[in-house]
Amino acid sequence: MAKPSVEPGAVIDGFTVGECVHRGGMATLWSVTHPELASPLLMKIPRVAEGEDPAAIVSFEMEQMILPRLSGPHVPACFGTGDFARQPYVVIERIPGKTLYSRLGELPLRFEEAAAVAGKIAAALADLHRQNVIHHDIKPSSIMFRPSGEAVLIDFGLSHHNQLPDLLQEEFRLPYGTAPYMAPERLLGVRDDPRSDLFSLGVLLYFFTTGVRPFGESESLRGMRRRLWRDPVPPRKLKPDYPPWLQEIVLRCLEIEPVWRHPTAAQLAFELGHPTQVKLTARSERLKRDPISTVLRRRFNRGLTQPRAPSDMAAHLVSGPIVAVALDVVEGPSALNEALRVTAERILATLPSARLACLNVLKLGRVTIDRTLDEQGNNKHIDRMVMLRHWASPLKLDEHRLTVHVIEAIDPAAAILEFAQINRVDHIVIGARQHSMLRALLGSVSARVAAEAGCTVTVVRPPRLASHQPDQPDALA
């Protein structure tokens, strides 16, 4: 049986215990050192004394299973775990600084700052979900930031791993979590939908921009169940200067049904990073809560208040990628641009929740002073945005699934690669190099993007019948 306590100076599996840095409701945190590890470390030990909540043990088991399987900058590195037969523990890297909870005294934050913070958290969630994990306890005290700026998610005791047994689901009937941030479907026993984390992030963003939690502080299960049929007060009711684009995002995150929220955390991060491209709906101007007739219809609609069937997390994430089509709308061959549209249409036809980002690079000279207007006096940037939308119009996409981007850059390939990395693009579609002696010697944009991109790349050539025409400039360059 595990020991009820740990003292400074004790040595556990080569880790020397230092001071206790935190005592929580379910575990304690100790600073530790190891002769073979130079980085600062923390040892997390569950509370297992008489009278402690048994859920603390189960949630710690979940954390022990999940943490060693995670990697990347958005989670703490795990350096070891201890067996319950001797001493249960997990050793993780010690992230410098404080959690986001330390900023509660500054609320409400400026809209732009809060959106930037939420965008970093959404990016961290996108990375976590790709690793088959739903956090289920997104709140200020579960979020830290590295000195380099990335959000780090901590405390995985309530998490769900799509490929591991869900001990909390198997052993307890009541939902565990932090009441003000808990998604409605969690109250129905649903733990396998990654959009639950988006709801929690929506609560955090609402709180950080208004200073008020959208569902209050109720801890009773009865009070929490109201969010199955009652929507929050729109932020613009509390703050008249609330940006419509931000209210659109927040209220979409807080939709009762997961299917009405953003399809993925990556798409949410994309919108937070491109506020001028957010498609505004009636949500953005709302000043009142839903009418009582709508509330009653939800209240007595069994479909909204009954448990859902299990979902396929992997299939859900695959169905909602971000697809970027890079094309030259000014000098690109019409046959190639048509081939790019056909390819995009085929990809989107199988992905009903995908987002399409149409991308064009306005190439700048290395030493020349570039003019923003063309020979006719038209703004080049705006003209290209209009042409991108015209190119995409035959696809007949819902507005919230389409964005257009004109990037000014000296190096088109580098600009495309940077856009894909920053915006977590899953698939790039780009035109192939056209026949040209210069391109043969110097390479092409498409070849470099295909070689260096961290995602899937489809290189498109025009149909063979359209290839017998004079040499054209390489698409985008």
Task: Return the sign of the alpha-carbon dihedral for residues 401, 405, 411, 415.
Answer: negative
Nearest to 439 by CA among 473, 409, 476: 473
Structure tokens at 257: 């049904």
- 6 alpha-carbon distance from chain centroid: 38
- CA separation (Å) from 22 to 95, 151, 376, 436? 14, 21, 66, 65
For residue 299, which phi and psi values (nearest 5 degrees)?
-60, -35
**Rg, C-alpha atoms of the chain:** 25
Task: Provide the residue count of the chain.
Answer: 477
Please indicate, yes or no, whether the overall pTM of this predicted structure exceeds 0.85.
yes
pLDDT of 80-119, one tens digit each? Answer: 999 888 889 999 999 999 999 999 999 999 999 999 999 9
Spell out the CATH class of 11-93: alpha beta
pLDDT of 299-323, one tens digit each? Answer: 887 565 555 556 667 777 777 899 9
> Using alpha carbons only, what angle is made at residue 320 by residues 318 and 326, rounded to the nearest 5 degrees?
105
Q: Assign domain 319-466 to its CATH architecture.
A: 3-Layer(aba) Sandwich (3.40)
Q: Please give the Cα distance from 126 to 120 (Å, whole number).
A: 10
Structure tokens at 390: 């015209």
The rounded mean pLDDT for the chain is 86
Which percentage of the chain shows pLDDT scores above 70? 86
Instruction: Return the pLDDT at 221.
Output: 76
Instruction: Return the pLDDT at 290.
Output: 86
pLDDT of 346-391, one tens digit each? Answer: 999 988 889 999 999 987 765 444 555 656 666 778 888 899 999 9
The one-letter code for the residue type at 147 is P
Is 473's pLDDT higher than 50?
no
Q: Please give the Cα distance from 401 to 399 (Å, whole number).
A: 5
Q: Do 443 and 320 contact (CB within 8 A), yes or no?
A: no
Structure tokens at 39: 């980085």
Decide which of 33 and 410 is more confident: 33
Q: Assign domain 100-164+171-316 to its CATH architecture.
A: Orthogonal Bundle (1.10)
Domain residue spans in the chain?
A: 11-93, 100-164+171-316, 319-466
Instruction: Return the pLDDT at 468.
Output: 44
| Cβ-Cβ contacts under 8 Å for 290 (sequence gap 6 or more) | 230, 231
- Average pLDDT (469-474) is 42
Q: By three-state DSSP, how is residue 370 classified?
A: coil
Residue with tokens 């000195």: 147
